[in-house]
């Protein structure tokens, strides 16, 4: 059998196999996850103590998911959530990128802000919730604030780290060729750190997406977090599980989009020569 | 009293030079018809420099002039202040004393009329070769020239076929050629080269030494090249300033009298010039070593 691998046919067949390996394993992973889910549902359904939660199993969940997708409810749920995350991330980027560039470029600013920022970063964003509710008139604004607080740190620190890795020779060359500060920012610094900014945004999205759901448990009457809470109150566990799946799918898709953007803007060559 | 006299001398030299330039302009109106840009005239006057964090001066009382179109090499041991001096010619660093006057104007900052090239080509890796070469024009808001000028300079450095390639796909020598094209795009009057070929293999280095000298000559550019390599100085320079170390001073100012063919090497005249310059260089280096040498055997 081992001799087979040495035949020409086997070697020719190898490259396409390797290309298919990633997607194949991805599918296999999903399959394993579904199997575990189904197994869990089967255990729950057969346990008299847990019988009430049997609707968390794949079959009822997928049927509920089908319902909310075909009725368009899924868009009504996720629209407000996406808006809140988008606004929170946008504001965090608007503040975090310039602050990160300044901190990366100016030594004393970095030293001055290091301790306070590390301190603030370690405070769970959700612990700002009571304050946010008091400060902002609307629930929406409070949620955007919480997401912003969660999202700003990865963006800021990633940007600053990117700026510090910029080759000083690029700045010297640009200055020597007559670049003004605006050129320096848009032609040298931003393209050089585009990947760092996007990596920060990707990390920030992960945190923001996590913070979103508990933040939507309070006050608001729209969004995915609210949909989960609402389903729990009406004991509609199939629908609850369907919303959980929706949260996972949207989060996965957004993360994937950021990964594509990072790949597009990445100018670092895999192999040096 | 001394300082005032020096200031006066500088003023005088500056006035004389700008007068001379005007006269030259009158005497040679045909300059205007040439497509090539005339090279810059450099006058360095009483220049000294001390870095903020260093104890003694790095450069002390340096004065010299470079004629338009001349190729001058600054030759000296590592650490003698060659790069510092070149940065001051470019305006990237300002001297703590004295001044650099280019075409009659004191240098107060970088300008795209003279461009510096470094040991590393430092191309921007997210840009194509053509985009890299266009940077100077872009920064100078001369975007309308890019379409014509960039192919022209890439052709000049034999890289026309690589215009749309990513800068990272090129070899070290090719990257340095792109850096040369990038420097030439704005039609500068002077190139300042800081050991630009020292990271290249011998073959590529020879080719670039010859090509850069040829291009500079054809365009009438003034070329100042910093090197610690005697043969590079002999191959490229019309004139060599040999620098002493600690503090950096001009110890010797010597003309290399070879024509372009002789500079290819392998002939007696080249070898003779090489030996002569090597002797000057070692004498200067030894002199510096003796000054700092305090071993008892010496006495
Ligand atoms: N930014 C700086 N601050 C302090 N000292 C410096 C700085 N740059 C260079 N030096 C010192 O000045 C001297 C000359 O440096 P440099 O001009 O780079 O010499 P070379 O190019 O001839 O090797 C060296 O002793 C170096 O350590
Ligand atoms: Mg140097």
Q: In terms of Cα–Cα distance, which of B220, B219, B258 is closest to B236?
A: B258
Same domain (yes/no): A47, A94: no
C-alpha to C-alpha distances, B9 to B85, B204, B259, nearest whole angstrom: 21, 45, 36
Of A176, A187, A267, nearest to B110 by CB-CB distance is A176
Residue A52 has pLDDT above 80, yes or no: no
Is the CA virtual torsion B75, B81, B83, B86 positive or negative? negative
Residue B29 has pLDDT above 60, yes or no: no
Residue B50 has pLDDT above 80, yes or no: yes
Q: How far is the CA of B253 from the centre of ligand 2 (A)?
A: 20
Are A247 and A75 within 8 A, CB to CB?
Answer: no
The residue from A35, A51, A67 where one domain ends is: A51
Residue B31 has pLDDT above 90, yes or no: no
Min Cα separation A189/chain B (Å): 11
Mean of the per-residue pLDDT values for chain B? 83
C-alpha to C-alpha distances, B75 to B65, B88, B189, B191, B217, nearest whole angstrom: 16, 16, 22, 16, 20
Asked if residue B84 has its Cβ within 6 Å of ligand 1, the reply is yes
Same domain (yes/no): A15, A63: no
Question: How many whole angstroms separate alpha carbon B280 and alpha carbon A213?
Answer: 78
pLDDT of residue B277: 92
Which of these CATH numbers, 3.40.50.300, 3.60.15.10, 3.40.50.1000, 3.90.1150.10, describes B37-113+188-289?
3.40.50.300
**b or e along A132-165 (b: 16 or more beta carbons within 10 Å of the residue's beta carbon)?**
bbeeeeebbebbbbbbbbbbbbbbbbbbbbbbee
Average pLDDT of the segment spanning B38-61: 89
pLDDT of residue B92: 87
Q: Is A178 in contact with B90 (Cβ distance < 8 A)?
A: no
pLDDT tens for residues B137-178?
999 989 899 999 999 999 988 899 999 999 999 988 899 999
Domains: count for chain A: 2
pLDDT of residue A150: 93
Asked if residue B295 has its Cβ within 6 Å of ligand 1, the reply is no
Same domain (yes/no): A28, A64: no
Tell whether B143 is within 8 A of chain A (Cβ): no
Residue B82 has pLDDT above 90, yes or no: yes
Asked if residue B247 has its Cβ within 6 Å of ligand 1, the reply is no
A40: tokens are 């869990």
Q: How many CB pairs under 8 A join A and B?
A: 56
Q: Which chain B residues in 178-207 lie under 8 Å from chain A, judged by CB atoms?
A: 182, 186
Same domain (yes/no): A141, A210: yes
Same domain (yes/no): A267, A226: yes
Same domain (yes/no): A173, A248: yes
| Domain boundaries of chain B, sorted by first residue | 37-113+188-289
Q: How far is the CA of B84 from the centre of ligand 1 (A)?
A: 6
Mean pLDDT check: name the lowest of A54-68, B38-52, B250-264. Answer: A54-68
pLDDT of residue B296: 43
Same domain (yes/no): A15, A123: no
Percentage of chain B surpassing pLDDT 70? 84
Same domain (yes/no): A116, A193: yes
Q: Is A175 in contact with B182 (Cβ distance < 8 A)?
A: no
The residue of chain B with its CA nearest to that of A270 is B168
Same domain (yes/no): A47, A68: no
Q: Is B90 in contact with A176 (Cβ distance < 8 A)?
A: yes
Residue A204 has pLDDT above 80, yes or no: yes
Of B110, B122, B126, nearest to A178 by CB-CB distance is B110
In this structure, the number of other CB atoms found within 10 A of the CB of residue A48 comes to: 6
Predicted TM-score (pTM) of this structure: 0.78
Residue A102 has pLDDT above 80, yes or no: yes
Same domain (yes/no): A13, A94: no
Chain B interface, best mutation among A173, A184, A193, A273, by max B CB count within 10 A: A173
Mean pLDDT check: name the lowest of A47-56, A244-253, B74-83, B87-96. Answer: A47-56
pLDDT of residue A20: 81
pLDDT tens for residues B230-272?
999 999 999 999 999 888 889 989 999 988 888 888 898 999 9
Residue located via tokens 């949260």 = A247
Same domain (yes/no): A178, A47: no
pLDDT tens for residues A223-268?
888 888 888 888 888 888 888 889 999 999 999 999 999 999 988 8
| pLDDT classification of B7: cutoffs 50, 70, 90 | low
Q: What is the ipTM of this complex?
A: 0.77
Asked if residue B75 has its Cβ within 6 Å of ligand 1, the reply is no
Residue A119 has pLDDT above 80, yes or no: yes
The residue of chain A with its CA nearest to that of B167 is A267
Residue B24 has pLDDT above 60, yes or no: no
Q: What is the three-state SS of A68-93?
A: HHHCCHHHHHHHHHHHHHHHHHHHHH
Percentage of chain A surpassing pLDDT 90? 45
| pLDDT classification of B27: cutoffs 50, 70, 90 | very low
Identify the burial level of B230 via C-beta atoms within 10 angstroms of its C-beta, where 0-12 means exposed, 13-18 middle and 19 or more buried: buried
| pLDDT classification of B11: cutoffs 50, 70, 90 | low
Asked if residue B51 has its Cβ within 6 Å of ligand 1, the reply is yes
Residue A24, domain extent? 1-51
Q: In terms of Cα–Cα distance, which of B198, B263, B252, B199 is closest to B229?
A: B198
List CB contacts (< 8 A) between A176 and chain B: 90, 92, 110, 115-116
Q: Which of B84, B225, B251 to mutate to test the pocket of ligand 1 (most atoms within 8 A of CB)?
A: B84
Same domain (yes/no): A12, A67: no
Tell whether A166 is within 8 A of chain B (Cβ): no
Q: How far is the CA of B80 from the centre of ligand 1 (A)?
A: 7
Beta bridge partners of B65: B43
Question: How many whole angstroms separate alpha carbon A213 and alpha carbon A131?
Answer: 18
Mean pLDDT check: name the lowest of A45-49, A164-168, A262-266. Answer: A45-49
CA atoms within 13 A on the CB side of A249: 11
């Amino acid at each position: 059998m081992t001799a087979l691998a040495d035949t020409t046919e086997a070697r020719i067949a190898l490259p396409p196999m390797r290309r298919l390996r990633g997607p194949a394993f991805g599918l296999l992973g999903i399959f394993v996850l579904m199997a575990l889910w189904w197994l869990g549902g089967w255990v729950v359904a057969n346990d008299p103590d847990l019988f009430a939660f049997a609707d968390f199993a794949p079959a009822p969940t997928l049927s509920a998911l089908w319902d909310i997708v075909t009725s368009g409810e899924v868009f009504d749920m996720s629209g407000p959530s996406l808006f809140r995350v988008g606004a929170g991330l946008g504001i965090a980027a608007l503040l975090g990128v310039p602050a990160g560039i300044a901190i990366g470029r100016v030594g004393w600013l970095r030293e001055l802000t290091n301790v306070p920022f590390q301190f603030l970063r370690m405070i769970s964003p959700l612990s700002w919730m009571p304050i946010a509710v008091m400060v902002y008139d609307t629930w929406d604004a409070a949620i955007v604030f919480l997401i912003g607080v969660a999202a700003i740190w990865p963006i800021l620190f990633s940007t600053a780290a990117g700026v510090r890795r910029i080759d000083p020779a690029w700045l010297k060359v640009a200055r020597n060729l007559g670049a003004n500060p605006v050129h320096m920012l848009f032609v040298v610094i931003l393209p050089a750190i585009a990947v760092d900014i996007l990596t920060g945004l990707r990390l920030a999205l992960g945190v923001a997406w996590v913070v979103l759901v508990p933040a939507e448990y309070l006050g608001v009457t729209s969004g995915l977090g609210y949909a989960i809470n609402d389903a729990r109150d009406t004991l509609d566990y199939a629908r609850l599980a369907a919303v959980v799946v929706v949260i996972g799918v949207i989060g996965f898709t957004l993360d994937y989009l950021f990964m594509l953007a990072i790949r597009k803007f990445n100018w670092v060559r895999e192999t040096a020569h | 009293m001394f300082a005032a006299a020096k200031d006066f001398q500088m003023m005088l030299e500056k006035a004389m030079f700008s007068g001379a330039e005007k006269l030259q302009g009158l005497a040679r109106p045909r300059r205007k018809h040439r497509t090539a840009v005339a090279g810059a005239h450099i006058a360095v006057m009483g220049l000294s420099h001390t870095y903020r964090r260093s104890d003694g001066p790095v450069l002390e009382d340096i004065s010299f002039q470079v004629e338009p179109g001349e190729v001058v090499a600054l030759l000296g041991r590592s650490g003698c202040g060659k790069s510092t001096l070149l940065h001051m010619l470019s305006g990237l660093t300002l001297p703590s004393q004295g001044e650099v006057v280019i075409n009659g104007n004191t240098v107060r900052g970088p300008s795209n009329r003279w461009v510096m090239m470094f040991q590393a080509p430092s191309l921007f890796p997210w840009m194509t070769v053509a985009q890299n070469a266009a940077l100077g024009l872009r920064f100078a808001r001369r975007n309308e020239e890019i379409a014509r000028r960039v192919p022209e300079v890439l052709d000049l450095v034999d890289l026309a076929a690589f215009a749309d390639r990513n800068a990272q796909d090129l070899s070290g020598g090719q990257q340095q050629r792109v850096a040369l094209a990038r420097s030439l795009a704005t039609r500068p009057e002077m190139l300042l080269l800081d050991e630009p070929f020292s990271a290249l293999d011998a073959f590529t280095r020879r080719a670039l030494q010859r090509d850069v000298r040829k291009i500079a000559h054809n365009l009438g550019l003034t070329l100042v090249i910093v090197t610690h390599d005697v043969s590079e100085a002999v191959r490229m320079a019309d004139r060599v300033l040999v620098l002493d170390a600690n503090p950096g001073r001009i110890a010797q100012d010597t003309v290399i009298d070879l024509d372009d063919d002789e500079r290819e090497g392998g002939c007696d005249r080249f070898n003779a010039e090489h030996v002569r310059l090597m002797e000057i260089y070692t004498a200067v280096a030894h002199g510096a070593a003796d000054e700092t040498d305090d071993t008892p055997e010496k006495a």
